[in-house]
Homo-oligomer: A and B are copies of this chain.
Amino acid sequence: MRLVKSIDQVRKAVRAQKEQGKKIGLVPTMGYLHEGHLSLVRLARRKCNFLVVSIFVNPAQFGPKEDLREYPRDLKRDLQLLKKEGVDLVFCPSVAAMYPGGYQTYVEVVGWNKILCGASRPVHFRGVATVVLKLFNIIEPDIAVFGRKDFQQAVIIERMVKDLDLDVKILTGRIVRERDGLAMSSRNTYLSAEQRKNAAILYQSLKWLKQAYVNGLRDPKTAESRMAAMITARDGRIDYIAFVDKNSLEPVKELRRGTLAAFAVFFGKTRLIDNTVLGSNLDIGHLFIPM
Interface residues of A (CB under 8 A from B): 7, 11, 102-112, 129-130, 133-134, 137-138, 159-160, 163-167
Contact = CB atoms under 8 A, between A and B. Distances in A.
29 contacts: A7-B165, A11-B167, A102-B159, A103-B163, A104-B109, A104-B110, A104-B111, A104-B112, A104-B159, A104-B163, A105-B108, A105-B109, A105-B110, A105-B129, A105-B159, A105-B163, A105-B164, A106-B107, A107-B107, A107-B108, A133-B164, A134-B163, A134-B164, A134-B165, A137-B164, A137-B165, A137-B166, A137-B167, A138-B165
A39 to B, nearest CB: 28
Nearest to A138: B165
A224 to B, nearest CB: 26
A152 to B, nearest CB: 13
A177 B25 CA distance: 49
A9 to B, nearest CB: 13
Q: How many identical subunits does the complex contain?
A: 2
Contacts of A165: 7, 134, 137-138
Contacts of A160: 105
A250 to B, nearest CB: 11
Nearest to A99: B163
A134 B163 CA distance: 8
A175 to B, nearest CB: 26
Contacts of A11: 167
Nearest to A112: B104
A103 B165 CA distance: 11
A289 to B, nearest CB: 34
Of A109, A110, A133, A159, which is in contact with the most chain B CB atoms at under 10 Å from its CB?
A133
Q: Chain B CB within 10 Å — which of A104, A106, A107, A130 has the most?
A: A104
Nearest to A98: B165
Contacts of A104: 109-112, 159, 163
Given A105-B107, A105-B159, A134-B164, 16 more contacts: A7-B165, A11-B167, A103-B163, A104-B109, A104-B110, A104-B111, A104-B112, A105-B129, A105-B160, A105-B163, A105-B164, A106-B110, A108-B108, A133-B164, A134-B163, A137-B167
